[in-house]
Amino acid sequence: MIRCAVVGATGFTGIELIKILVRHPGVSLTALTTRQDKPIPVNDLIPVLSRKTSLVVRNYAWKELLRSADLFFICLPHTEAAQTAAKLFRAGKIVIDLSADARLKRASDYVTWYGHKHPAPQILKKSVYGLPEIYREKIREANLIANPGCYPTGAALALWPLVKRGLIELDSIIIDAKSGVSGAGKKLSPAAHFCEVDQNFKAYKVNTHQHTPEIEQTLSDQAGRPVKVTFVPHLLPIDRGILSTVYARRKKGVNPAAVVKAFQEAYADEAFVRFRGEGVFPPVKDTTGTNFCDIGVAADCAGGRIIVISAIDNLLKGASGQAVQNMNIRFDFPEGQGLL
């Protein structure tokens, strides 16, 4: 049994992790943390949990936390997460960080997109980016796994088969993505208020969203040269789910059949990516409550354009489900354990 802790267990991703991990046969949940003084029984925090449990979320002193587990899921806001991840990693623990703090390889990108210096830049060289469909072999060996962001998961899975095979013009990529409100976490802000979101639909952080360099980093790695994208996120009046509509131009001489084949071959053996085929476009609801990413493609559009549509649940394939998938890979459990 792997002893595992969830740090920041009262938030949206922490709660999803607890829901999965209480049923996982390979792990024992030994610490669930909050900053709050009053302990919270898990059955009160998650009333939908069908399993009766004596688990409690509570405040831990650092030394007690360190002794409590071997694997730590960090579900803290970015910037908060970095020091905790660094200290746990230094202490020889295995860390899966759901925040953005271990994802970007260049600390200067963090300054540009997050607006301040990285609090623990030493972790950036040690972390492995935890997108299993691309980096599975590195994840097997990693002690610090940077779990990908929700938008970058949907965008990268829609694009990397095309980028890797050199099928599209790299300067033609446009990602038009829409997310449910849980993407912003449980802390209330005016923009996420019910009256702002309900019956409304709007773009935000146009061309300035902090997930842009993360998407570019993955695609650049796959292309073997720098890739820039246009990324426009939108807020949908739904709880959870991300639909990404991605546009790119086919390279001259590349026929539409090669585009379809790239997706078929990339995902033939993947448990969690369902390529729905040419002309079949997934709605977000097909992935709600699951760790699946569903993908459809229109490979033969006017002007040589390709349209790829991907759907995920931001809290599962975009966060906690993918974190468990990474744990399964790292500890040699069946990859779908607890998730299928």
Ligand X SMILES: NC(=O)c1ccc[n+]([C@@H]2O[C@H](COP(=O)([O-])OP(=O)(O)OC[C@H]3O[C@@H](n4cnc5c(N)ncnc54)[C@H](OP(=O)(O)O)[C@@H]3O)[C@@H](O)[C@H]2O)c1
Q: How many CB atoms lie within 10 A of CB 314?
A: 28
**Minimal distance, residue 90 CB to ligand X, in Å:** 20
The smaller minimum CB distance to ligand X, of residues 182 and 337, is found at 182
| CB-based contacts of 211-214 (< 8 A; 24+ apart in sequence) | 211/100, 211/149, 211/151, 211/152, 211/155, 212/113, 213/104, 213/109, 213/112, 213/113, 214/100, 214/103, 214/104, 214/148, 214/149, 214/152
Q: Which of 4, 75, 150, 293 is flagged as catalytic?
A: 150
Closest CA to 113 of 30, 13, 214: 214
DSSP string, 287-309: TTTSS-EEEEEE-S-GGGEEEEE
Binding segment toward ligand X, per CB under 6 A, in 206-214, 253-261, 264-272, 315-323: 315-323
Rule CB under 6 A: is residue 78 a binding residue for ligand X? yes
What phi-psi label fits residue 254: left (phi over 0), alpha (psi between -120 and 50 degrees) or beta? beta
Rule CB under 6 A: is residue 318 a binding residue for ligand X? yes
**Minimal distance, residue 128 CB to ligand X, in Å:** 17
150 is catalytic: yes
Residues binding ligand X: what is the number (CB under 6 A)?
29
Q: Is 143 exposed, middle or buried (0-12, 13-18, 19+ CB in 10 A)?
A: middle
Whether 92 contacts 80, CB under 8 Å: no
Rule CB under 6 A: is residue 76 a binding residue for ligand X? yes
Instruction: Say how far apart CA 172 and CA 249 lie, in whole Å.
Output: 6
Instruction: Say how far apart CA 293 and CA 272 lie, in whole Å.
Output: 6
Rule CB under 6 A: is residue 210 a binding residue for ligand X? no
* Cβ-proximal residues to 255 (8 Å cutoff; 6+ apart), any chain: none
Binding residue for ligand X (CB under 6 A) from 12, 60, 231, 333? Answer: 12
Rule CB under 6 A: is residue 283 a binding residue for ligand X? no
Binding residue for ligand X (CB under 6 A) from 6, 13, 163, 291? Answer: 13
Binding segment toward ligand X, per CB under 6 A, in 5-13, 21-29, 224-232, 258-266: 5-13
**Minimal distance, residue 144 CB to ligand X, in Å:** 15
Binding segment toward ligand X, per CB under 6 A, in 41-49, 109-117, 179-187, 269-277: 179-187
The smaller minimum CB distance to ligand X, of residues 149 and 338, is found at 149
Rule CB under 6 A: is residue 183 a binding residue for ligand X? yes
Binding residue for ligand X (CB under 6 A) from 4, 5, 8, 145? Answer: 8
Rule CB under 6 A: is residue 36 a binding residue for ligand X? yes
Give me the phi and psi of 183, to 5 degrees please.
-55, -25
Token pair 């610090």 is found at 144
Binding residue for ligand X (CB under 6 A) from 3, 56, 68, 80? Answer: 80
Site for ligand X in 94-153 (CB under 6 A): 98-100, 149-150
Instruction: Say how far apart CA 82 and CA 123 lie, in whole Å.
Output: 8
Binding site for ligand X (CB under 6 A): 8, 10-14, 34-36, 75-78, 80-81, 98-100, 149-150, 182-183, 185-187, 314-315, 318-319
Catalytic residue list: 150
